[in-house]
Structure 1
Amino acid sequence: MEINVEKLLKTIKLSAQIILENGGETYRAEETINFICKALGVKEMDCIATPTGIYITISVDGKENNTVVKRISKRTINLAKLNRINNISRQLTQKNITLDEAIVQLEETREDSGIKHKFYSYFYGGFSAAFFTLIFGGGVFEFIVSLLSGIVVALVTKKFENIHSYQFYSSIFAGIIIALFAILSTHIAHFGNYNYIIVGGIMPHLPGLAMTNAIRDTIRGDLISGITRGADAIFTAYSLAAGTGVIIYLSYAIGLLTV
């Protein structure tokens, strides 16, 4: 069966792009490309995936090379999309779907926001922070404050998704908002512990998956990816700490908090 090179390149490019944009490891992107090309009888294939780009060269007949490069500028976490890519690649390798059908499904997956009712997604962030607060020892008062601050953080950080370095700005503002809610609420009510609210509030924003992927990539020998993801995770954590620390420092300076 003759393979349409342009359609194949688009298929493997979209597959790797969606994996890298939604929290997948670099080796997962490379293996997905490998599996698809091998199943379709591609003679030669080389690919390099990093958190910021994909470089793919294939030779269907072993003579003529075709190359595609894709810059990855958006990175988030969506495990549902990773699962869909696995299913699509599996169907493609088993010849259950064609390249045209795979491209349609991949484009639908890329465009899918993942949430049919965006309004509810803000409450998910709030409840996540609130229950983390309970885990760290907070009570009903801290739970309610964390819930409210988590909703506000989700609303504010959503506005930064379409700008460059949005992770830095969203983390800074998340730390600021969480600390403000925690300190002001406990100061006004003369009740509760702001430490529980702050710790519970920042937990959903900590880059745990990014750091895990960084360690995993480094162990596998993907040093560029490991260092990049590790730096990204540390930078995000420092941004959260900086936003929170500024508010705590100012609160001590103006007398809202005392030693």
Structure 2
Amino acid sequence: MDLSNNQIARIVELCLLAGEILIKSGAETNRVEDTMMRIAASYGVPEAQSFVIPTGIIFSSNREDRAKLVRVAERSTDLEKVAIVNSISRQISKGELTVDEALTKLKKVANADLSFPLWLQILSAALASGCFLIMFQGVWQDFIPAMVAGGIGYLLFIYLHKYIKVKFFAEGVSSLVIGLLTALAVYTGLGTNFDSIIISSVMPLVPGLLITNAVRDLMDGHLMSALAKGADAFLTALAIGAGIAAIVAFM
């Protein structure tokens, strides 16, 4: 099937948009590249080339055409968007969507805010902190202090990261506040075990998905992406550790 330059341009735009949504939503590199290649092949562009790293996507319809670049400045975790893009990709593979229909759907996904309400995020972080405490063999008396410290710490992280784009700073300050709250709880007698409360309260800040994707990318041979994500996860762990260490040093 011979495609016009305009049709190829639309297909490239579609592939780049799908890849951008996936990488911004926390998908692993192999998933992003595979989805883009499958979409291109479904519309008659089987020789497409793609190169994905956490901060950008390079895509070309073949080896001769000029490559297109999309810069990815912000990344988060939104697995619902990943699932929606995968669903759209499967519809494309089955021939159920035209290029324009798929573009319309993906633009709606890109512009949609599918995140949970702030109060639910904070409540979830608080409950997770309390449950982690029990899982780490803590005592029930520390359940409430862990919930309070974890919830307030996560709330502070969200607000700091919203206004200050340096994620390292937001995580460091949040862990510092968690340490202060934990120390206060133990000092006043509301809590008993400083270590258990601290460990469980910082768990909502731990980059679990990022670490998993770094290992997955390393196993798939995407060395640049694996190193970048691994470095990001290391900085997050360093920020959390530095915040807690500052409190422990003064106790």
Distance 2:72 2:29 in 1: 12
Kindly provide the amino acid, as one letter, of the partner of residue 223 in structure 1: L
After TM superposition, the score normalised by the length of structure 2 is: 0.91
Mapping for residues 144-155 of structure 1, pairs under 5 Å: 144-155=144-155
Give the equivalent residue in structure 2 for 1:51: 54
Mapping for residues 1-259 of structure 1, pairs under 5 Å: 2=3, 4-59=7-62, 65-115=65-115, 117-162=117-162, 165-189=165-189, 191-250=191-250, 252=251
Distance 1:147 1:155 in 2: 12
Deviations 1:127-180 (A, max 9, x none): 111111111122333111121122212221112334565321221022112111
Deviations 1:11-70 (A, max 9, x none): 1111111111111111111111110111111153111000111001114xx87x243211
Kindly state the Cα deviation for residue 237 of structure 1 after the two structures are TM-superposed.
Answer: 0.5
Q: SS where residue 161 of structure 1 aligns? A: helix
- Structure 1 residue runs without a partner (length 5+): 253-259
Kindly provide the amino acid, as one letter, of the partner of residue 58 in structure 1: S
Change in CA separation of 1:191 and 1:220 when aligned onto 2, cut-off 3 Å:
closer
Change in CA separation of 1:56 and 1:190 when aligned onto 2, cut-off 3 Å:
closer
Q: Is the 8 A contact 1:186 1:193 kept in 2?
A: yes
Q: SS where residue 61 of structure 2 aligns? A: strand
Distance 1:168 1:24 in 2: 21
Q: Is the 8 A contact 1:168 1:239 kept in 2?
A: yes
Distance 2:158 2:227 in 1: 27
Kindly provide the amino acid, as one letter, of the partner of residue 126 in structure 1: A
Q: Is the 8 A contact 2:154 2:204 kept in 1?
A: no
Q: SS where residue 159 of structure 1 aligns? A: helix
Change in CA separation of 1:125 and 1:113 when aligned onto 2, cut-off 3 Å:
farther
* Range with bigger deviation, 32-41 or 189-198: 189-198
Kindly provide the amino acid, as one letter, of the partner of residue 8 in structure 1: I
Q: Is the 8 A contact 1:178 1:197 kept in 2?
A: no
Kindly provide the amino acid, as one letter, of the partner of residue 228 in structure 1: A
Kindly state the Cα deviation for residue 201 of structure 1 after the two structures are TM-superposed.
Answer: 0.9
Q: Is the 8 A contact 2:21 2:81 kept in 1?
A: yes
Distance 2:249 2:193 in 1: 17
Q: SS where residue 70 of structure 1 aligns? A: strand
Q: SS where residue 51 of structure 2 aligns? A: strand
Q: SS where residue 87 of structure 2 aligns? A: helix
Distance 2:118 2:98 in 1: 33
Kindly provide the amino acid, as one letter, of the partner of residue 104 in structure 1: T
Change in CA separation of 1:218 and 1:93 when aligned onto 2, cut-off 3 Å:
same
Deviations 1:232-251 (A, max 9, x none): 1111101100011101112x
Kindly provide the amino acid, as one letter, of the partner of residue 15 in structure 2: I
Change in CA separation of 1:190 and 1:159 when aligned onto 2, cut-off 3 Å:
closer
RMSD: 2.0
Kindly state the Cα deviation for residue 191 of structure 1 after the two structures are TM-superposed.
Answer: 4.5
Aligned residue pairs, count: 248
After TM superposition, the score normalised by the length of structure 1 is: 0.88
Q: Is the 8 A contact 2:150 2:204 kept in 1?
A: no
